[in-house]
Amino acid sequence: MRISELSTHSGLPVASIKFYLREGLLAAGDLTSPNQASYSQEHVDRLRLVRALLEVGGLSVASARDVLAAIDSTSMPLQWVFGIAQHAIAGGLVAPATTGPDAPGATLVAEQIAARGWRIQPDNPGIAMAASVLDAYESMGYGSLNDTIGEYARAAEIVAEADLDAVAGAADRAGMAEVVVVGTVLGDTLFAGVRRMAQEHVSGRRYEGVPSEGIAPEIAVSPVPDAGASAAC
Amino acid sequence: MRISELSTHSGLPVASIKFYLREGLLAAGDLTSPNQASYSQEHVDRLRLVRALLEVGGLSVASARDVLAAIDSTSMPLQWVFGIAQHAIAGGLVAPATTGPDAPGATLVAEQIAARGWRIQPDNPGIAMAASVLDAYESMGYGSLNDTIGEYARAAEIVAEADLDAVAGAADRAGMAEVVVVGTVLGDTLFAGVRRMAQEHVSGRRYEGVPSEGIAPEIAVSPVPDAGASAAC
């Protein structure tokens, strides 16, 4: 297909495609004449991946090039490809505070990793993210999230298994890396949304008590009779 | 204490404190002379809350005023206060795409809410967040996150219980609402960090296989002998 058709199939303007070609994010087409190149379905697929990296993952062109090189290097273990993709998108999430390796947050994270037997590299971007949140929370005077982090880690294992199931559903290495990037970024927002729903549900169960009063049994000064007991009085 | 001491205790510049006083986010001090007011520990506490709302929660001054009013209205059920705080910070998280109530994502979310028996209001900000991610993912051609959302919801219940445990640890209504806001915002990043660690661990377990080859048993064309079997050959 010509570049105009590639534009139609990918939904991207010709100018964007030419930019990706110049930046080396998309392989050149086969020259059919000195001024015309032919593109294939592979180009359509690659464009979707490039777009996912740049628009959903928020990667820079240079980072996207690194991820693409990792995907294309078939001798590279798949797990390394995932790691490279994870590192590339890590910059997109702003950690709330900087923190040192000796800060309490880093220790808490290290303890958690050991407790759960997680085998991860010391440069996993999640370590700094989690440690900085723990330090920020404590430095604001809210106490320690010691108990919270353990439950978060337990929940994260469930989410990670689901994430890797989605990755395993992809057709090839490129597709898998694509799902790693898109899934990691979108998954953060998906989980944040589901978490807000669960919070309302759990908060309702704990604090609703009698709907008309809305006082939680735990914090009510006097015992609150339930609806059945009220009717009996 | 004088405003200069309030500044020292709160770590906020006098100019910021005066701004919060003008905007009605901080109650005026007791006048000790026509030009001098006295502030108490309550003011220090309120400043920490205001700061948490604006700096961590990313709330506008108007939204912060709404949340503070809800906290101060002791007749308002605590769960409503949580809801108001949740809504106020919802704007801080950018949903990747807008989506309608008839889009497949909204249906998937509604099914999930029903399946888990969650009692939540239809305006819970997490619903639109989750629905828009599901639609964005599917519209990019990655298929459905049908299976994923169920596991996310299961994990979110664990996280929400931990979140509400942290809220319950606060001393009073203001402290609880403060933990709701700070915990919701920081918790998103904390979970994102822990999720990245868990992803590496799970991905390693699934795809590492024989470390030197890095091919997952599931995707290897020929059976990969384990280390013990290799040694025996």
Question: pLDDT for A177-208, tens place per residue?
Answer: 888 888 888 898 899 999 999 999 999 888 87
Q: Which two tokens stand for residue B135?
A: 């639609």
Q: Do B215 and A79 touch (CB under 8 A)?
A: no
Pairing type for strands B30-33 and A36-38 reads unpaired
Q: Give A219→chain B minimum CA distance, Å.
A: 9
Contact A80 B113 (CB under 8 A): no
Task: Give the count of beta carbons closer than 10 Å to the beta carbon of residue A22.
Answer: 9
* Whether B17 contacts B7, CB under 8 Å: yes
Q: Coil, helix or strand for A221?
A: coil
Rounded to whole angstroms, the Cα distance separating A39 from A16 reads: 15
Query: Using the 8-state DSSP alphabet, how is residue A210 labeled?
Result: S
Q: What is the CA radius of gyration of chain A?
A: 25
Contact between B165 and A154 using a beta-carbon 8 Å cutoff: no
Measured between CA atoms, the residue of chain B closest to residue A164 is B203
Average pLDDT score over chain B: 81
- Confidence at residue A99, expressed as pLDDT on a 0 to 100 scale: 57
- Count, residues in chain A: 233
pLDDT score recorded for residue A93: 47
For residue B94, the SS3 value is: coil
Please list every residue in chain B whose beta carbon sits closer than 8 Å to the beta carbon of residue A148: 162-163, 165-166, 187, 190
Interface contact flag, A158 B151, Cβ < 8 Å: yes
Report residues of chain A scoring pLDDT below 70: 90-102, 209-233
Percent of chain B with pLDDT over 90: 39
Residues B40/B1, Cβ–Cβ less than 8 Å: yes
B28 secondary structure, DSSP code: P
In this prediction, residue A76 carries a pLDDT of 78
The predicted pLDDT at position A116 comes to: 95
Angle, CA of A217, A219 and A222, to the nearest 5° = 70
Both tokens of A110, joined, read: 């290290």
State the average pLDDT over residues B74-96.
71
CB-closest option in B131, B141, B214 to A78 = B214
* Closest to B130 in 3D by CA, of A185, A155, A164, A191: A191
C-alpha distance from B100 to closest chain A C-alpha (Å): 16
The answer to whether A145 touches A137, Cβ cutoff 8 Å, is: yes
The alpha carbon dihedral of B8, B14, B16, B19 has a sign of positive
B198/A153 Cβ within 8 A = yes
Size of interface A-B (CB pairs under 8 A): 333
Q: Which chain B residues are closer than 8 Å to A163 by Cβ?
A: 148, 195, 199, 202
Q: How far is CA A144 from the centre of its chain?
A: 25
Is residue A182 within 8 A of residue A191, CB to CB? The reply is no
For residues A151 and B159, what is the distance between their CA atoms, to the nearest angstrom?
6
Confidence (pLDDT) at A148: 93
Say which of B120, B168, B213 has its CB closest to residue A201. Answer: B120
Amino acid at A231: A
pLDDT, position A157:
97
Closest-approach residue (CA) in chain A for B191: A152
**Could you report the per-residue pLDDT of B39-48, keeping only the tens digit for each?**
999 999 899 8
The mean pLDDT of B116-128, rounded to a whole number, is 91
Characterize the bridge pairing of strands B30-33 and B36-38: antiparallel
Q: Is A82 in contact with B203 (Cβ distance < 8 A)? A: yes
Q: Which residue of A197, A201, A212 to mutate against B (max B Cβ within 10 Å)?
A: A197
Paired with A33 in beta bridges are A36
pTM to 2 decimal places? 0.78
